Every structure is written in C-alpha cells, then in structure tokens.
Amino acid sequence: MSKTNQQLRIIGGEWKRRQLPFADIDGLRPTPDRVRETLFNWLMWDIQNARVLDLCAGSGALSFEALSRGAAQVVMIEPNAVQSKFLKQNIRLLEAHNCQLHSMTAEKALLMLNGRAEDTEGFDLVFLDPPFQLNLWQDLANSVDPLLLDQAMVYVEADRDLLQLNLPNSWQLIKTTKAGQVHAGLFQKRAAAT
C-alpha cells in the first residue's frame, strides 16, 4: 500500500472482503468497521432494492457496502477532486452501474436534486455523515428532508450526542451506537399527519 492512499474493506454482501483504495486526505475518516457492521445489521431488511443517497461520501465505505448488500441505486456526493477520482475508479472496478457520483458539495447537490424533485423518485435511505468540523448536520438534514420517502431511514454520524443536532422533528431516532468519540444512529422519517 502506497503512502498516497489508504484501503477500506467491504464487510458483507456480494463484494465481501474486497479492498478499495481511497485518498489519504486530512479529515477523511471512513465509518469504523464495527459501526458499519452494526449499521448494516440494523438495515438488513431495508437495504434490498433501496434508493440510497450518500451526502458526504468520503471514502465511499457506506455507499459500496450498501451496493454490496443489494441497494438498487446509490447516489454519492463528494466535493474533493482527488477523492472523487478514487470513487470513480472504484465504481469502474466494481462495475457498479447503479452508482452515480456527483463531484460537488452536499449543499450544491441538494439544491440540484431539490430543483428537479419532480423527476426524483425520492430516497429510501440517506447517509448523513459530514466532516465534523463543518457542523452541517442541521442544514443538510433540512435540505434533504423533502427528498425522503415516508418511512425512509437516515443514518447520522457525529462527534456529539445526536439529540443535540436539531434534526427535523419528523425524524424519529430508532437505534444508536457509540464507538470512541463517534456517535451514530438510525432515524426514520415519520409520515406527515393528514
């Protein structure tokens, strides 16, 4: 392994044990294996045929894990040009034709997706794991909320208690875990009262 990149390992599914390179960039921290395994155990019955949006793809660990386990489509957002090249290479390597990559910030991607919401089917699952120092949870959550289908799942990772993040009231926290300083949880969007 060269000093210019790191490796992540897919834990389960079709590509189990596959190693994928990603850029060695300050602040890029793949979801720890133990947390990823817990997350996908939680999603075991929900990941098949899901439409997934990974707002802050980073290494791509969550996206590739979702695809490996049967997600129908994954949309990845990653603004870093160097890491985007790694993601493109990994998409080609895995022949993941059901994976789209947008090389832009999550904020710009959400403006674009919301702008064509009538053409977007909506998402069953969203990964919301922004760089901790940017403190983007609330803004991204409010922007992605209109794109969520009723009962959609949202995975959130943060450096603080998840209930401090001021996420939408329609998101109900259903599972939590903690690994070191990482707080992680799964929320479900409740259907709007009619």
| 194 within domain boundaries | no
Query: How far apart are the C-alpha atoms of 170 and 151, rounded to whole Å?
Result: 10
The per-residue pLDDT for 115 is 83
- Give the global pTM: 0.92
Residues spanned by the domain of 122:
6-189
| 32 within domain boundaries | yes
Q: How many CB atoms lie within 10 A of CB 142?
A: 13
| 14 within domain boundaries | yes
Q: Write the pLDDT tens digit of every residue in 112-152.
A: 998 876 666 899 999 999 988 899 999 999 999 999 999 99
Angstrom distances, CA of residue 50 to CA of 22, 63, 122: 25, 12, 10
Number of domains the chain contains: 1
| 140 within domain boundaries | yes
| 1 within domain boundaries | no
**Token digits of residue 61:** 């660990």
Q: Write the pLDDT tens digit of every residue in 15-68.
A: 999 999 888 887 777 787 888 999 999 999 999 999 999 999 999 999 999 999
Give 84: exposed, middle or buried? Use CB within 10 Å, 0-12, 13-18, 19+: buried
**Stronger pLDDT, 130 or 192, i.e. the higher one:** 130
**Stronger pLDDT, 5 or 98, i.e. the higher one:** 98
Query: How far apart are the C-alpha atoms of 148 and 79, rounded to whole Å?
Result: 22
The per-residue pLDDT for 2 is 40
The CATH number given to whatever domain includes residue 50 is 3.40.50.150
